[in-house]
Amino acid sequence: MTDFPHAMLREIYEQPDAIRRTLDLYLAGAALKSDAFAPMAHWLNPRGEVLIAASGSSRHAGLAAEVLFEDLCGLAVDVEYASEWGCRATANPRHPSVLVISQSGETSDTLAALRLARDRGEHTLAIANVPGSSMLREASAAMPVAAGREVAIPATKSFTAQLTALYLLALYAAQQTGAMDAAELDRNIHELLAVPDQIARQLDTWRATTAALAKKYADASTFLYLGRGVHYAIAREGALKMKESSYVHAEGYPAGELKHGPNALVSEQVPLVVLATADRGLEDSMLRYEKTLQLLQDMKKQGARVIAIATIGDTEVAAQATDVLFVEPTSEFLLPIAEVVPLQLFSYFMALEHGVDVDRPRNLSKAVIEV
């Protein structure tokens, strides 16, 4: 029986079930439930322009969704910090469709963005984890996720449940716009259905490996997390988990931006965490992979310490990185759901190394609500 000394660790382990429950809300077998998605039909619009407003981890889910919607559906997407957009939204909106994402469904800035969009007559869709929350009640359409109650302040299972819902939403949009045929939709759904079991199989291995890595890298003063494409969102989320869980500074960057300034920081005390997975059946993924592999080679010559996230069996990445965390192969747009889990565990064990109360980091709350 697995021992969970903290809520965060338990909730990391609950992610396969959180994903399965969310899938059950929107899938009947291997098909999209038409009744579950019917309220969202009006949210899609012929101009294909979408604004995503969110904060914290939910915004990182939105960054992943931006790539999903644009690459799978051909939608034009802008992702904004809810706190920023609410202060500068124009009187003549160019986004007929607005999506807000929040774990609690009560985050003040995101709720304000929803109400602003609603009052201007825009179609709104809310994704939230708490049933009956204000966002789910007030949006034109609601897409709840079923992560279950999340006790620890660092978001884990709610984040992967959000990614799951957003992937389903992208598949629905692709189906409705004709961007994806029936055979491709079926293939994508079957790959998604396999993800919970893939994560469950790897949890114990990731737990042991990340615990050892936390001891090895406990002296780091800063981490730089790097990713390309949809994986940039996971780099941002991994960095946020590190800083809020362990109080160790971390930043997420697009991998191609490392040499435009941040590389000046890289040293023995400032290691890199690089998302270097690959979907070998997708040309764009392999282009990303080749560029990432070149970066790893350059960093090895530079003497940098690098933790890479790679696909199982990837000897090329293993030869260039200092340490590797492996994930099972899946498609390009599903890899982020798996990749983030070992990064969550790494942050958890770094927090233990630094003596931090990982469930209740200082100065933070589960929902940011202004009264």
Res. 371 pLDDT band, cuts 50 70 90: very low
Q: What is the pLDDT of residue 48?
A: 76
C-beta separation of 159 from 367 below 8 A? no
What does CATH list as the number for 197-353? 3.40.50.10490
pLDDT in tens, 158-200: 999 999 999 999 999 999 999 999 999 999 999 999 999 999 9
Spatial neighbors of 237 by CB under 8 A, at least 6 apart, are 57, 60, 61, 159, 252, 340, 343
Q: Is CATH 3.90.1150.10 the classification given to domain 7-193?
A: no
For residue 54, the SS3 value is: strand
Task: Please tell me the distance from the alpha carbon of residue 324 to that of residue 128, in angstroms, as a whole number.
Answer: 33
Q: What is the pLDDT of residue 362?
A: 86
DSSP, res 122? -
pLDDT higher than threshold 60 for residue 297? yes
Every domain range in the chain assigned CATH 3.40.50.10490: 7-193, 197-353
Res. 289 pLDDT band, cuts 50 70 90: very high
pLDDT in tens, 130-159: 999 999 999 999 999 999 999 999 999 999
Whole-model pTM? Answer: 0.96
Q: 261 vs 43, 236, 257, 317, CA distance in Å?
A: 40, 17, 7, 24
DSSP, res 214? H
Q: What is the pLDDT of residue 159?
A: 98
